[in-house]
């Protein structure tokens, strides 16, 4: 293992930094992915059609985008750890609100959970960019990002069975407890990781909504010529991942005749594939020294596997479980390498800002396509066409950005 980084954030240990960011990434994903896992119950209790799961997913991503665009001053004032704690509290509030049922409560809950997820990209990048040894940057970022599918895997394995056995209210209550407990557990790390904050930074509505604050993250993308094509590829990857994961449980129960528990297990296998692949592919990106080209390969492979997954006839639970794991390993394993590349390409003092700007555009892939997906399902009555369109656009974007990323200029 690499030694601790000697400087940055008062010489904080990269092991402590990784532990904190991995835990909070996992918990944030557990809350965020809990919405699609419980979507059949939540939408059914509110009298909504199954495809409304896509609208809840889109509202959650809207919450993420709000923080990414306007939350910079909050991160600067509170510090990354306190901001992650704030995110956990917002996620807990969203889960509690979802227990009330009804369309307005579910919509507001989805936005709150998204707001709670919002701090994880910029806060995590700020911590890890200052502490991770450069020769292991992609691996360490990928381990941290492995918390995203890990949290989704836990949501599929835990929340669905709890909801079936004792009701959705118990599943939502469990999520609230997990979120609040995680915020308490990381409190000691504030001593070493929250030392570079700006206590006098204004965080009122005027500061958060100022033109300078809202434009800053996007302006930071001009700091390096590769940030734009890298962000375009990430947005395309997010489109496939967002559509595939947001509708997986609902699609499997509606078209493949699976029970909620069986579909939740397939969802967990998809997430588990992403956990392992993020670590392995992050290590490979460090070894090859060309992370951007690695991402292109993952994108092309992911598009192909998703197309195969939805085109094949029902294969039975075992084969569906295996194919779901393979698909998840490709479409949910890119985030850590992508964030490490953004951090590498950005000036040290602008990493959080550039990450926020790039992640904002990236998360549009989670916001707009699932909403369009739901509309296409309603319009055509087919789940196949939207999935194929999502996979096809990734193939097109990957081929378009290939020349720039290959040249490295």
3-class secondary structure for the chain? CCCCCCCCHHHCCHHHHHHHHHHHHHHHHHHHHHHHHHHHHHHHHCCCCCCHHHHHHHHHHHHHHHHHHHCHHHHHHHCHHHHHHHHHHHHHHHHHHHCCCCHHHHHHHHHHHHHHHCCHHHHHHHHHHHHCCHHHHHHHHHHHHCHHHHHHHHHHHHHHHHHHHHCHHHHHHHHHHHHHHHHHHCHHHHHHHCCCCCCCCCCCHHHHCCHHHHHHHHHHHHHCCCHHHHHHHHHHHHHHHHHHHHHHHHHHHHHCCCCHHHHHHHHHHHHHHHHHHHHHHHHHHHHHCCHHHHHHHHHHHHHHHHHHHHHCCCCCHHHHHHHHHHHHHHHCCCHHHHHHHHHHHCCHHHHHHHHHHHHHHHHHHHHHHHHHHHHHHHHHCCCHHHHHHHHHHHHHHHHHHHHHHHHCC
Q: What is the pLDDT of residues 306-335, one digit of tens each?
A: 888 888 888 888 999 998 899 888 888 888
Residue for token digits 């990450």? Answer: 355
Q: What is the pLDDT of residues 104-159, one digit of tens each?
A: 999 999 999 999 999 998 899 889 988 888 888 889 988 998 888 788 888 888 99
For the segment 184-213, the average pLDDT, to the nearest whole number, is 83
For the segment 78-85, the average pLDDT, to the nearest whole number, is 94
Query: Residue 409: pLDDT band by 50, 70, 90 thresholds?
Result: low
> Which residue, among 374, 337, 275, 300, has the nearest Cα to 59 in the 3D structure?
374
- Which region among 37-41, 89-93, 217-221, 397-401 has the lowest average model confidence (pLDDT)? 217-221
> What does the block give as tokens for 56?
């809840």
Task: Supply the mean pLDDT for the chain.
Answer: 86
Q: Give me the pLDDT at residue 10, please.
A: 44
For the segment 79-86, the average pLDDT, to the nearest whole number, is 95
Q: Give me the pLDDT at residue 270, please.
A: 87
Residue 9 in this model has a pLDDT that exceeds 70: no
Residue 20 in this model has a pLDDT that exceeds 90: yes
- Domains of the chain (ranges; CATH) run 10-189+206-404 (1.20.1250.20)
Q: Give me the pLDDT at residue 351, please.
A: 81
Question: Comparing 129 with 31, which gets the higher pLDDT?
Answer: 31
Residue 89 in this model has a pLDDT that exceeds 90: yes
For the segment 288-309, the average pLDDT, to the nearest whole number, is 85
User: Are 208 and 73 spatial neighbours (Cβ–Cβ below 8 Å)?
Assistant: yes
Question: Comparing 133 with 23, which gets the higher pLDDT?
Answer: 23
């Amino acid at each position: 293992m690499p030694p601790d980084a000697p400087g940055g954030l008062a010489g904080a240990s990269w092991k402590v930094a990784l532990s904190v960011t991995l835990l909070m990434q996992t918990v944030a994903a557990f809350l965020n992915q809990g919405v699609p896992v419980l979507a059949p119950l939540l939408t059914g209790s509110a009298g909504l059609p199954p495809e409304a799961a896509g609208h809840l997913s889109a509202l959650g991503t809207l919450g993420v985008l709000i923080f990414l665009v306007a939350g910079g001053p909050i991160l600067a004032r509170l510090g990354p750890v306190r901001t992650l704690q704030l995110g956990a509290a917002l996620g807990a509030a969203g889960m509690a609100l979802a227990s009330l049922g009804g369309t307005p409560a579910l919509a507001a809950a989805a936005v709150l959970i998204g707001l709670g997820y919002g701090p994880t990209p910029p806060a995590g990048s700020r911590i890890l960019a200052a502490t991770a040894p450069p020769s292991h940057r992609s691996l360490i970022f990928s381990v941290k990002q492995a918390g995203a599918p890990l949290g989704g895997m836990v949501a599929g394995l835990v929340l669905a069975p709890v909801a079936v056995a004792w009701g959705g209210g118990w599943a939502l209550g469990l999520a609230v407890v997990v979120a609040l407990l995680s915020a308490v557990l990381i409190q000691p790390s504030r001593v070493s990781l929250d030392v570079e904050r700006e206590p006098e930074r204004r965080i009122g509505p005027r500061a958060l909504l100022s033109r300078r604050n809202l434009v800053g993250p996007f302006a930071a993308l001009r700091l390096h010529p590769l940030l734009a094509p890298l962000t375009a590829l990430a947005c395309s990857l997010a489109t496939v991942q967002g559509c595939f994961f947001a509708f997986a449980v609902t699609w499997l129960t509606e078209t493949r005749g699976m029970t909620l528990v069986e579909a939740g297990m397939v969802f967990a296998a998809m997430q588990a594939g992403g956990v392992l692949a993020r670590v392995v592919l992050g290590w490979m990106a460090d070894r090859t020294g060309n992370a951007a080209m690695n991402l292109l390969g993952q994108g092309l492979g992911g598009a192909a596997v998703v197309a195969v997954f939805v085109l094949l006839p029902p294969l039975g639970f075992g084969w569906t479980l295996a194919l779901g794991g393979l698909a998840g390993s490709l479409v949910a394993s890119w985030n850590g390498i992508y964030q490490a590349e953004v951090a590498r390409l950005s000036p040290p003092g602008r990493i959080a800002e550039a990450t926020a700007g790039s992640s904002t555009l990236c998360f549009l892939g989670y916001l707009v396509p699932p909403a369009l997906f739901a509309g296409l399902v309603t319009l055509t009555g087919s789940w196949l066409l939207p999935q194929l369109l999502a996979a096809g656009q990734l193939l097109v974007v990957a081929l378009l950005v290939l020349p720039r990323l290959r040249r490295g200029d």
